[in-house]
Amino acid sequence: MRMRPTLTWTPTEDLPPGTTDLRPVADALGGGGVLVLSGAGISTESGIPDYRGEGGSLSRHTPMTYQDFTAGAQARRRYWARSHLGWRTFGRARPNPGHRAVAAFERHGLLSGVITQNVDGLHQAAGSDGVVELHGSLDRVVCLSCGDVSPRRELARRLEEANPGFDPVAAGINPDGDADLTDDQVGDFRVVPCALCGGILKPDVVFFGEAVPPQRVEHCRALVREAASLLVLGSSLTVMSGLRFVRQAAEAGKPVLIVNRDPTRGDRHALTRVALPLGAALTAVAGRLGVSLDGGSAV
């Protein structure tokens, strides 16, 4: 499935309104076997903006596509300059109560798995194990020639050495770790090649216009088949990358529950959509279930 940078999604039908009633979410989690599917909205409280919510980055920023990245050196220079600067902020982001709640639910045996559309690693930082990173992770870099995978921190060190004094002031940071810089600010930023073969380096993430690896998609489909219900957290489900799992769950008769402040493309498949901030909503659910976010029991 190739992803496109969809800027907007307009409902073509009347959708049920959102609710503030957390009981269906608490009931599903209390029964166990819940598969979590998270999107950019779960990380906004960590200082990382989402794509399509209020003030979302797509209103000012078009993400790099795989085709543009591979087509020319200038596009890669622009990408790596912006991404290198953004990584300094992105890499300092810390898990928020939403991430900690998901990790706590997992510790208490309430989840069957976690799939995230995010590339920030915050679920793992909060303590979640076995997270399926649907779109990869920014903390890894892959060579398009030899396939070597290396840590992002190593590339950051090499880029610092190749671009001493590079410290422009960015207008903002985006969910993909890309900082908003003008072409003048990018300037003659130097891109470094693969240390092993001299090939082109790319973050180990799925760009828009690129396909999610088929084996990863099938793994996620298997998780949906094994789950008792699907809980969507902070995703508009605008792109098919995540929506396909909602459709799969609904077609199999599994309850789909969504926590997202704005309407989503998956609402018509859902038992409910809770229109509350994620951190507060999941913390409240944890309290109802006697689950402590710090690792112990809440009661």
Q: Give the residue among 169, 173, 191 at the shortest CA–CA distance from 182.
A: 169
- Average pLDDT, integer, range 186-200: 96
Q: What is the pLDDT of residues 85-120, one digit of tens each?
A: 888 877 788 999 999 999 999 999 999 999 999 999
pLDDT at 178: 79
- Average pLDDT, integer, range 62-86: 91
Q: CATH number of the domain that 171 lies in?
A: 3.30.1600
**Per-residue pLDDT band at 22 (split at 50, 70, 90):** very high
- Domain end point (choices 205, 236, 262): 205
Distance of CA 187 to the CA centre of its chain: 30
Longest dimension (CA), the chain: 58
Active site residue 123: no
Distance separating the N- and C-terminal Cα atoms of the chain: 45
Beta bridge pairs of residue 202: 142
Whether 287 and 159 share a structural domain: no
- Domain end point (choices 205, 237, 255): 205
Rounded CA gap, 105 and 68, in Å? Answer: 40
Whether 72 and 113 share a structural domain: no
C-alpha neighbours within 13 Å on the C-beta side of residue 133: 18
Q: Annotated binding site for NAD(+), which residues?
A: 39-59, 117-120, 234-236, 278
Q: CATH number of the domain that 40 lies in?
A: 3.40.50.1220
For residue 97 the two structure tokens come to 């109560």
Q: Which domain holds residue 147?
A: 58-92+138-205
* Higher pLDDT pick, 12 / 16: 16
Choose the catalytic residue: 108, 135, 219, 269: 135
Q: Annotated binding site, which residues?
A: 39-59, 117-120, 143, 146, 194, 197, 234-236, 278
pLDDT at 297: 41
In a domain, 10, yes or no: no
Does residue 3 surpass a pLDDT of 50?
no
Q: Annotated binding site for Zn(2+), which residues?
A: 143, 146, 194, 197
Lowest mean per-residue pLDDT among 46-60, 112-126, 186-200, 261-275: 46-60
pLDDT at 14: 76
Rounded CA gap, 288 and 278, in Å? Answer: 15
Number of domains in the chain: 2
Whether 77 and 200 share a structural domain: yes
Does residue 66 surpass a pLDDT of 70?
yes
Token match 């898990």: residue? 95
- Domain end point (choices 185, 205, 225): 205
| Statement: the pTM of the whole predicted model exceeds 0.85 | yes
